[in-house]
Amino acid sequence: MFKVTIRDHIMIAHSFTGEVFGPAQRMHGATFVVDASFASPELDENGIVVDIGLASERLHAVLADLNYRNLDEEPALAGQNTTTEVLARVIADRLADSANAGDLGPGALALTEIEVTLHESHIAWASYSRPL
Amino acid sequence: MFKVTIRDHIMIAHSFTGEVFGPAQRMHGATFVVDASFASPELDENGIVVDIGLASERLHAVLADLNYRNLDEEPALAGQNTTTEVLARVIADRLADSANAGDLGPGALALTEIEVTLHESHIAWASYSRPL
Amino acid sequence: MFKVTIRDHIMIAHSFTGEVFGPAQRMHGATFVVDASFASPELDENGIVVDIGLASERLHAVLADLNYRNLDEEPALAGQNTTTEVLARVIADRLADSANAGDLGPGALALTEIEVTLHESHIAWASYSRPL
Amino acid sequence: MFKVTIRDHIMIAHSFTGEVFGPAQRMHGATFVVDASFASPELDENGIVVDIGLASERLHAVLADLNYRNLDEEPALAGQNTTTEVLARVIADRLADSANAGDLGPGALALTEIEVTLHESHIAWASYSRPL
Amino acid sequence: MFKVTIRDHIMIAHSFTGEVFGPAQRMHGATFVVDASFASPELDENGIVVDIGLASERLHAVLADLNYRNLDEEPALAGQNTTTEVLARVIADRLADSANAGDLGPGALALTEIEVTLHESHIAWASYSRPL
Amino acid sequence: MFKVTIRDHIMIAHSFTGEVFGPAQRMHGATFVVDASFASPELDENGIVVDIGLASERLHAVLADLNYRNLDEEPALAGQNTTTEVLARVIADRLADSANAGDLGPGALALTEIEVTLHESHIAWASYSRPL
């Protein structure tokens, strides 16, 4: 199995609902360093899993809709805590939609899995992986 | 699949038995930077895999029993080389016991896998993963 | 010259005033991985620059006053943009006050410089250094 | 499952064929930081997955055949783009041959998987994993 | 003293002249992860050392003239080994010219030092610092 | 000013004397990731600060005298705590002796400073710098 990973980041504000979150129930924020992985059992005729230029552009576009925002005010994310886990799934699902729509190029049709990891600090990170 | 990882560390002394270890047969030591991962196919109603505060406390407690010690003198580890691989399993098993005992909260009952990675230097690390 | 550095982090929300900040004028946030360095030309009789346990506690206490907060609402930071540079100075100055007050132990009186670096992402960081 | 990983690196020149590569069609180069992982469900009687000394030597030998070279001129790599993905497979396959030939010691016969990750920069990496 | 650092990278081919370089006399290549630091004793009225957006654009433009190239064929670099040290100076000098030309904005006139660090691998890096 | 840095590591056991060390008074250990920096205002005719091959060999030799040992039993280190700070000075002084003895080649005579940083974990490190 081949896997290609690219890194980008977002800087957001949010707050959480639920006693389990302690002081994180207050308005605070995070830099999420975002790693997006694309897996495929085979390479295309160019010897790549995916056009890394296209993939970087799409990841950046997906992140631009979240970046420099207060996620508590984003209608698309309403009614849930925007935890690291939840955001990993949101980003992975949007990348999957992009791949399925052909935005990552024809080679992306061979992708079998997308995994998105969000590093919230040097001591904590979370990921979500899903088939394509 | 969702995965959450937290990082902590220990600083221990030990020696190894067996010619394969060369100079590491002498008393020496290591800083192990420890990454503990908790995997679950679903999030709980708060949008998390596990209470990261509880998980960090439990990991710290498990590591406290090893930290700042000469592992050659620990009865619980007697009769085996405390290699990076062996210690990864010891820590993963103790975390699994903690999860099964409910110490990580009720949400932890949905956990399906624990993986523990020990970084022994910038050029070598080892991990052990097991189902829950 | 000897230097000892310890690492901790904060997760905050804020917004900036000034066109130069572009989208960062919106409410957003950051994880700041904080490195605090303590410099001294000499070691004390224990062979250390500073009691690293005490220094870690003091750094953690200084950061606790900022952590999990919307910095736009902190009276002590009013009237200025809480940029990475500004926060590095705030933290360095509070650590310096701590050192001068004897909170870092008697050995800390030999400290000659404090430097604080805030990593806002994997591609940007800022620091402030000052004499003691 | 146990996994042991070791890190080394190579510095190579190459060029790519195919419009998808844009400016990387020109002669350029890369440092690849190479992580080689060896997986096994069981530890040997010494408590290890593989003799890490032997594994490091073999990885270094495999990399020496690629290091400080213009890969466009390597007969063994002719007729394909030496992308990060392709090189990950080349290195993994050569390590697998080494393991199967007994070069990693008798314990290596229990290995079930090899994974090789090549970091081409701080924001992009690729891996190839295969059974043994 | 305040310092702001931003990170970018280049991927180049080159060869060296001189027996001291051993196998690096052959055509090979490198990824250089480039950290550019800008120092100033004071912050501007926005609370920043330099407009980080402008600085990132300028660094990227300076690197674009080197990126995805065989440096042996660059007229501007002829007659010298393009070692990590030499390239750090080339990039620092070009950034200094940019700052002096006002490309980094009016605030950049207060800059007192530029330092450029090039990481050639996980185990070696070099830097060049100069006054402004 | 030019600076070149190389990285290596040691794995040692030791214990400390003094109440300030708390549990580190017990026999324990550490991996020290060691960064050695060599500074010079000028490059030699090859375009380098120092022969990085020679410097790496010398650093490795200096570290070999400490590696895989219980430092409490090393006569050369007797009568002092082998703290991170103390070890940084020991290594820097031995490298300086090497440079002064010509072991780093004739170019090393232009070196003006050596700095050694020892990373004891992902959250603590110490350095010692000295003129040459």
3-state secondary structure F48-110: CCCCHHHHHHHHHHHHHCCCCCEHHHCHHHCCCCCCHHHHHHHHHHHHHHHHHCCCCCHHHHH
Q: Is F115 on the interface with E (CB under 8 A)?
A: no
Distance (Å, whole) CA D30 – CA E29: 5
Q: Is B9 on the interface with F (CB under 8 A)?
A: yes
H helices of chain B, in order, are 52-64, 84-100
DSSP annotation of B44: -
Q: pLDDT grade, residue D108 (50/70/90)?
A: confident
Residue B61 CB contacts under 8 Å (≥ 6 apart), including other chains? none
A37: nearest Cα among A101, A120, A130, A106 = A130
CB contact under 8 A, C26 and A68: yes
Return residues 89-108 of E near C (CB < 8 Å).
Answer: 105
Total residue count of chain F as it appears in this document: 132
F105: nearest Cα among F62, F60, F46 = F46
Distance (Å, whole) CA A86 – CA A127: 9
Report the residue of chain D nearest C122, measured CA to CA: D122
Sign for the CA dihedral angle at E91, E94, E96, E99 comes to negative
pLDDT value at residue E8: 98
How far is C-alpha C31 from the chain's CA centre?
13
Rounded to 10 degrees, what is the CA torsion of B81, B126, D118, E16? -40
Distance (Å, whole) CA D54 – CA D103: 8
Q: pLDDT grade, residue B108 (50/70/90)?
A: confident
For chain D, counts of helices (H) and of strands (E): 2, 4
Question: Are the C-beta atoms of B127 and B116 separated by less than 8 Å?
Answer: yes
pLDDT at D106 exceeding the cut of 90: no
DSSP annotation of B70: B
ipTM: 0.96
Rounded to 10 degrees, what is the CA torsion of D58, D61, D67, D73? -110
Mean pLDDT across chain E:
97
Using a CB-CB cut-off of 8 Å, the residues of chain E touching B119 are: none
Longest dimension (CA), chain E: 53
Question: Are the C-beta atoms of D92 and D115 separated by less than 8 Å?
Answer: yes
pLDDT value at residue D109: 83
Question: Are the C-beta atoms of D29 and E15 separated by less than 8 Å?
Answer: no
CB contact under 8 A, B122 and F33: yes
Between A76-90, B103-117, F72-86, the lowest mean confidence (pLDDT) is in: B103-117
Using a CB-CB cut-off of 8 Å, the residues of chain D touching B123 are: 6-8
Distance (Å, whole) CA D71 – CA D74: 5
pLDDT digits (tens, 9 = 90+) for F56-81: 999 999 999 999 999 999 999 999 99
pLDDT value at residue A106: 82
pLDDT value at residue F106: 82
Return residues 66-85 of C near E (CB < 8 Å).
Answer: 80-85
Closest CA–CA distance from residue F2 to any residue of chain E (Å):
5
Tokens 């783009």 correspond to D81
Question: Are the C-beta atoms of F113 and F129 separated by less than 8 Å?
Answer: yes
The helix (H) or strand (E) run that includes residue A86 is helix A84-100
pLDDT value at residue C83: 98
pLDDT at F55 exceeding the cut of 90: yes
pLDDT at B36 exceeding the cut of 90: yes
Rounded to 10 degrees, what is the CA torsion of D42, D45, D46, D48? -10
Neighbouring subunits of E (3+ Cβ pairs under 8 A): B, C, D, F
pLDDT tens, position by position, for chain C (132 residues)?
Answer: 999 999 999 999 999 999 999 999 999 999 999 999 999 999 999 999 999 999 999 999 999 999 999 999 999 999 999 999 999 999 999 999 999 999 998 878 899 999 999 999 999 999 999 999
Sign for the CA dihedral angle at E101, E104, E105, E108 comes to negative
CB contact under 8 A, B48 and A81: yes
DSSP conformation letters of chain C: -EEEEEEEEEEEEE---SGGGGGGGSSEEEEEEEEEEEEESS--TTS-SS-HHHHHHHHHHHHHTTTTSBGGG-GGGTTS---HHHHHHHHHHHHHHHHHTTTT-GGGGG--EEEEEEEEETTEEEEEEEE-
pLDDT value at residue D107: 76
Return residues 34-53 of E near D (CB < 8 Å).
Answer: none
Closest CA–CA distance from residue F121 to any residue of chain E (Å):
17
Neighbouring subunits of B (3+ Cβ pairs under 8 A): A, D, E, F
pLDDT digits (tens, 9 = 90+) for E86-104: 999 999 999 999 999 999 9
pLDDT digits (tens, 9 = 90+) for E30-46: 999 999 999 999 999 99
Q: pLDDT grade, residue D117 (50/70/90)?
A: very high
pLDDT value at residue F132: 94
pLDDT at D92 exceeding the cut of 90: yes
Using a CB-CB cut-off of 8 Å, the residues of chain A touching F123 are: 122
Produce one character per residue of D30-59: b if its CB has 16 or more CB atoms within 10 Å, e if not.
Answer: bbbbbbbbbbbeebbebbbbbbbebbbebb
Distant-in-sequence contacts of A90-95, Cβ < 8 A, 24+ apart: A90/A66, A91/A34, A91/A36, A91/A62, A91/A63, A91/A66, A91/A116, A91/A118, A92/A36, A92/A116, A92/A128, A92/A129, A92/A130, A93/A130, A94/A62, A94/A65, A95/A36, A95/A58, A95/A59, A95/A62
Using a CB-CB cut-off of 8 Å, the residues of chain B touching A18 are: 46
Q: Is C13 on the interface with A (CB under 8 A)?
A: yes
Closest CA–CA distance from residue C87 to any residue of chain E (Å):
10
Mean pLDDT across chain B:
97
pLDDT value at residue A45: 95
CB contact under 8 A, B2 and A127: yes
CB contact under 8 A, B29 and F31: yes
pLDDT at A107 exceeding the cut of 90: no
Structure tokens at C46: 């224990």
Q: Is C57 on the interface with F (CB under 8 A)?
A: no
Q: What number is the average pLDDT over the span B31-45?
A: 97
Closest CA–CA distance from residue A71 to any residue of chain D (Å):
25
Q: pLDDT grade, residue B109 (50/70/90)?
A: confident
Q: pLDDT grade, residue A68 (50/70/90)?
A: very high
Q: Is B26 on the interface with E (CB under 8 A)?
A: no
Q: What number is the average pLDDT over the span B73-77?
A: 97
Q: Do chains F and B touch (3 or more CB pairs under 8 A)?
A: yes
**φ, ψ of residue C125 in degrees (nearest 5):** -155, 165
Q: pLDDT grade, residue E107 (50/70/90)?
A: confident
Helix (H, G, I), strand (E, B) or coil at A90: helix
Of residues A72 and C105, more confidence is placed in: A72
Angle made by CA atoms B116, A117, D120, in degrees to the nearest 5? 95
Kindly calculate the radius of gyration of chain E based on its CA atoms and give it in whole angstroms.
16
Distance (Å, whole) CA B59 – CA C51: 25
Structure tokens at D34: 């190479």
Q: pLDDT grade, residue A108 (50/70/90)?
A: confident
Report the residue of chain E nearest D66, measured CA to CA: E28
Question: Are the C-beta atoms of B115 and B37 separated by less than 8 Å?
Answer: yes
pLDDT value at residue C107: 76
Closest CA–CA distance from residue E46 to any residue of chain F (Å):
31
First-to-final CA distance of chain B: 14
Residue D107 CB contacts under 8 Å (≥ 6 apart), including other chains? D44, D46, D48, D49, D50, D51
Distance (Å, whole) CA D40 – CA B114: 17
Question: Are the C-beta atoms of D16 and D83 separated by less than 8 Å?
Answer: yes
Q: What number is the average pLDDT over the span F13-30?
A: 97
CB contact under 8 A, B83 and D47: yes
Enter the pTM of the model: 0.98
DSSP conformation letters of E12-52: EEE---SGGGGGGGSSEEEEEEEEEEEEESS--TTS-SS-H
pLDDT at E59 exceeding the cut of 90: yes
Q: pLDDT grade, residue B74 (50/70/90)?
A: very high
Structure tokens at A85: 């886990």
Q: pLDDT grade, residue F108 (50/70/90)?
A: confident
Select from E81, E116, E127, E128 the residue whose CB has the most chain F CBs within 10 Å, as the one to mutate to test that interface: E127
Sign for the CA dihedral angle at C94, C95, C99, C102 comes to positive
Q: pLDDT grade, residue B60 (50/70/90)?
A: very high
Q: pLDDT grade, residue B107 (50/70/90)?
A: confident
Using a CB-CB cut-off of 8 Å, the residues of chain B touching A88 are: 2
Q: Is D25 on the interface with A (CB under 8 A)?
A: no
Q: pLDDT grade, residue A109 (50/70/90)?
A: confident
Distance (Å, whole) CA F13 – CA F9: 14
Distance (Å, whole) CA A125 – CA B6: 7
Q: Which residues pair with A72 in a beta bridge?
A: none
CB contact under 8 A, C28 and A69: yes
Q: Which residues pair with B29 in a beta bridge?
A: B13
Q: Is A110 on the interface with D (CB under 8 A)?
A: no
B129: nearest Cα among D109, D34, D4, A128 = D4
CB contact under 8 A, E53 and C85: no
pLDDT value at residue F29: 98
Q: Is C26 on the interface with D (CB under 8 A)?
A: no
Q: Which residues pair with B125 in a beta bridge?
A: B119, D5
pLDDT value at residue C42: 96
Burial of A101 by CB count in 10 Å (0-12 exposed, 13-18 middle, 19+ buried)?
exposed
Using a CB-CB cut-off of 8 Å, the residues of chain D touching A115 are: none
Q: What number is the average pLDDT over the span A6-31?
A: 98
pLDDT value at residue E72: 98
Structure tokens at F62: 């200096």
The helix (H) or strand (E) run that includes residue B113 is strand B113-121
E67: nearest Cα among E33, E93, E37, E111 = E33
